[in-house]
Structures are given as C-alpha cells and as structure tokens.
Amino acid sequence: MSRKKKKQQPAPQEPAVPGRRPEPVEWLRRGLLGLVTVLIVARPLVLGEDPGLTLPLSDTSNLILTLLWLIATVGWAAWRLLAREGSWHVGLVEAGLLATVVSVFVSVALPRPYIYRHAALLVSWEWLAFFLALFLIRQLATREEDQNRVLAALLASVVSVSAYGLYQYTVELPRLRQSTVTAERASRAVGLLSGLAGPLQAAVVTVGVQTEDEELASQVARRLQEHNHAFA
C-alpha cells in the first residue's frame, strides 16, 4: 500500500495592517511634528519688525527659526525615505504660496537701484519658512488626532499671546514709557552739565553714562511714543 504524503499546511500569517509603519519611523514622524508645532508656537514670540537688523533692539532669533525650518524639512525628507511614504498632500493653497515665494526671490535677484538687498533677502527667507510651515504641517499631520493636537497648541498660543498683549498695553508699556522718558531727560541734563563744566566729565564717566546708552534710551523712548501698541 502506498502511503500518501500529507501536505504541510502553511503557517498562518498575520494579516497586514494598511498604513502600518515600523516603530522607529513612527517616532521620527512624531518628533518632526512636535518640532514643527514648537516652531509655529515660537514664531509670534520673536520680534520681526526690523528685517534688516539695523536697530539695537533687533536680534537674529528669526534667522534661527528659519534655520530650524530647513532642518525640519531635511528630517521630513529622511522620514519619507525611511517610511517609503508615497502620498502627497498638496493643493492650490500650497501652489499659490510657492509661486509667491519664487516671485519674492526673483524680485530680490533683479538689479534695481535704491533697494536694501540684505533686508530683502532676509524677508525672502521668511517667506520660504512660511511656505515650509504650511507644507510640513500638511505632510506630517495627516491623522485626525495629530491635527487636533496641533490645533490645540495653536489655540493655546493665541490665548497666551493675547493675554500678554493686554498686559503690555495696560501695565508694561506705560511703565516702560515713563521710565525711558525720565532716563532720557536725565541723560540730556547730565550732558548739558558736562558741557558747561569740565570737571563733571570725569563724574559722567564714573557713573557709566555713555553715548551708546544714551542713544539706545532715546530710540526706545521714541519708539514707545510713536507706537502706542503692544509688541506681542
């Protein structure tokens, strides 16, 4: 009698879950989404009234944020490569904003007289960072729970900035305006006395009254008098 060989049954395979990604790649996506959210929340807290960075009160914080946006874009490209993500989330809004960014860069590159090119270049990079913010949010926050978290962070940022703006307008700005005006008057009085009497010049240097400090106090006082609104 011939024995029939029993066919071995294949081991049951785990059903594939659509959209499932390896755990490290998912953590990378969440980290990038967190970085993007932090950058969006931090932008209203950075002064952007002087694109050319010509005033003493200006700093390079906005340039650091732009650099971080570029780093986040590189991280998104790495995540897309590792996760083998093939979907794109773009629309007419992104296309229009990208066209605006390109037109701004082209307008800066064109030879034109009477243009502060350094400030124009910085503003162009700000436009690029604005486009990257919208683009990365669309690519990373594809799930409803992620979109809700980003929206909650934005709403909390709006509430906190609005509250601080009210505090500036009602408490901080009047106090700062009064102190700077008083300091400017005292500085002018000391300068007048030092011009009338030579020995007072040594006393002025001793107390630390310098020309740069006087100019800075004058600029702050002028700004507070001209702009009666909160910096936030």
Q: Is the dihedral of CA 176, 182, 186, 192 positive or negative?
A: positive
Q: Are 139 and 27 in contact (CB under 8 A)?
A: no
Token code pair at residue 105: 């860069």
Q: Give the integer Cα–Cα distance in Å for 170 and 185.
A: 24
Q: Give the integer Cα–Cα distance in Å for 199 and 178.
A: 30
Which pLDDT value is given to residue 109?
A: 85
Token code pair at residue 204: 């002025």
The tens place of each residue's pLDDT in the chain, 232 residues long, gives 445 444 444 444 444 455 554 578 888 999 999 999 999 988 888 877 777 777 777 778 888 999 999 999 999 999 998 888 888 888 899 999 999 999 999 988 888 777 778 888 888 999 999 999 999 999 998 889 988 999 999 898 889 888 888 888 888 778 877 777 666 666 665 555 555 544 444 444 444 444 555 555 555 555 555 555 555 5
Q: What contacts 199, CB < 8 A, 6 or more positions away?
A: none
215 CB neighbour count, 10 Å cutoff = 12
Q: Give the integer Cα–Cα distance in Å for 74 and 70.
A: 6
Q: Give the integer Cα–Cα distance in Å for 163 and 148.
A: 23
User: In the block, which residue shows the tokens 């600029």?
Assistant: 219
Compute the chain's Rg from CA coordinates: 29
Which pLDDT value is given to residue 227?
A: 54
Which pLDDT value is given to residue 75?
A: 94
State how far Cα 188 lies from the chain centre: 38
Which has the closest alpha carbon to 136: 26, 36, 31, 25?
Answer: 36
Q: What contacts 58, CB < 8 A, 6 or more positions away?
A: 47, 49, 50
Q: Give the integer Cα–Cα distance in Å for 198 and 211.
A: 17
Per-residue CA distances from 187 to 2, 18, 175, 181, 225 (Å)? 115, 71, 18, 10, 18
Which pLDDT value is given to residue 217?
A: 54
